[in-house]
Amino acid sequence: MLVRDVMTPNVPAIALEATLAVAAEKMLADHTDTLFVVKGERLVGTIGLRDLFTAPVPAHFEGATLRQPDLDALRQVWNRTRVEHLMNTNVLSVTDDTPLLKAAEIMINSGKHPLPVLRQGAVVGMITRQAVVRAVLAARHGEMNENR
């Protein structure tokens, strides 16, 4: 079985030029912790919820309790900082013709998930741990039916 057989074609992606505030809103709307950063159709990085809190913030924010002025300062940083300045450019990916178990191995060994699925450099989907589990269970169920 290949990645293309079980990948999700809809990917949580964001443009390189978007702000961190837009990225945060998109992560919440898409119910995801990670967005694939694209330039056109080309994958150039990832950004996650954790990354949002590594954005440079004014000195008065560090060590402060989370009061309204501090939240405002962080929001202002998110509004003016572009995704490209904080994204991770060391992205693991697979192609749509990668064997499914190879993709699972990459996710297990790297701790990275979901993985973007590429075709000729363009993002065409993503593969998740849940998709691999579903495929394993479906294959097992199919074997049980064949043995009856």
More confident residue, 82 or 121: 82
Instruction: Spell out the domain ranges in the chain.
Output: 3-146
- In this prediction, residue 71 has a pLDDT band, given cuts at 50, 70 and 90, of confident
Residue 147 scores a pLDDT above 50: no
CATH number corresponding to 3-146: 3.10.580.10
> Per residue in 86-118, pLDDT tens?
999 999 999 999 999 999 999 999 998 899 999
Output DSSP code: residue 85: G
- In this prediction, residue 144 has a pLDDT band, given cuts at 50, 70 and 90, of very low
Return d(Cα 86, Cα 48) in angstroms, integer. 10
How do strand 122-127 and strand 115-119 relate by DSSP bridges?
Answer: antiparallel
pTM (predicted TM-score): 0.79
DSSP helix/strand/coil, 131: helix
Q: What CA–CA distances, in Å, run from 56 to 6, 16, 26, 75, 128?
A: 39, 18, 21, 11, 31
Residue 69 scores a pLDDT above 70: no
Return d(Cα 11, Cα 94) in angstroms, integer. 14
Checking 24-30 for CB contacts under 8 A at 24+ apart, the result is 24/49, 24/52, 24/78
74: tokens are 């962080």
Amino acid (one-letter) located at 26:
K
> Per residue in 9-53, pLDDT tens?
989 999 999 999 999 999 999 999 999 999 988 999 999 998 998
